Chains A and B, each alone.
Chain A
Amino acid sequence: MEQIGNMIGWETVKMIVGLVGVLAFVVFNALILTWAERKVAGHMQRRIGPKEVGPYGLIQPIADALKLLGKEILTPRGVDKPLYYLAPMIIFVPVLVSFIVIPFSASLQVMDINVGILVILAFSSLSVFSILMAGWGSNNKYALIGAIRSIAQNIAYEIPLLLALLSIIMMTNSFSLKTIVEAQKGLWFVVYQPLAFLIYFIAAVAETNRTPFDLPEAESELVAGYHTEYSGMRFALFFLAEYTNVFIVSAIAVTFFLGGYQGPFLPGIVWFLLKSYLLVFVIMWLRWTYPRVRFDQLLNISWKALIPLAFINLLVTGGLLKL
Chain B
Amino acid sequence: MTVSPSAFIRGTGSLLAGLGVTIRAMFQPVVTCQYPRQLLNISPRFRGHTKLLADRENPGKNGCIACGICAKNCPSGSISNIEGEKREGEKRKTATSYTLDYTTCSQCGICVESCPSDCLAFSADFNAAGYKKEDFHYDLVKEFEKRKKTS
**Residues of A with Cβ closer than 8 Å to B?**
40, 42-48, 51, 285-286, 288-290, 300, 304-305
| Nearest CB of chain B from residue A295's CB, rounded to whole Å | 13
Q: Is the CB of B34 within 8 A of A45?
A: no
A288 to chain B: which residues have CB within 8 Å? Answer: 22
Complex Cα gap A285–B24 (Å)? 11
Q: Is the CB of B25 within 8 A of A43?
A: yes
A-B contacts besides A46-B28, A46-B32, 4 pairs, CB < 8 Å = A43-B30, A51-B34, A290-B15, A290-B18
A40-B26, A304-B1 as given contacts; A48 in contact with B32, CB under 8 Å: yes
CB-based nearest B residue for A47: B32
| Nearest CB of chain B from residue A305's CB, rounded to whole Å | 7
Partner of A43, one of B15, B19, B26: B26
Partner of B30, one of A47, A286, A300, A305: A47
Complex Cα gap A40–B23 (Å)? 10
How many B residues have CB within 8 A of the partner chain? 16
Main secondary structure of the interface of B (DSSP, over half): helix
- Map CB proximity to A onto B27-62 as digits: 1 under 8 Å, 0 otherwise: 111111010000000000000000000000000000
Q: List 22 A-B contacts (CB under 8 A).
A: A40-B26, A43-B25, A43-B26, A44-B22, A44-B23, A44-B26, A45-B25, A46-B25, A46-B28, A46-B31, A47-B31, A47-B32, A48-B32, A51-B34, A285-B22, A285-B23, A286-B19, A289-B18, A289-B19, A289-B22, A290-B18, A304-B1
Q: Is the CB of B30 within 8 A of A48?
A: yes
| Nearest CB of chain A from residue B9's CB, rounded to whole Å | 14
Partner of A48, one of B1, B21, B23, B34: B34
B30 to chain A: which residues have CB within 8 Å? Answer: 42-43, 46-48
Complex Cα gap A45–B28 (Å)? 10
B27 to chain A: which residues have CB within 8 Å? Answer: 43
Complex Cα gap A249–B27 (Å)? 27
CB-based nearest A residue for B27: A43
Q: Is the CB of A305 within 8 A of B1?
A: yes
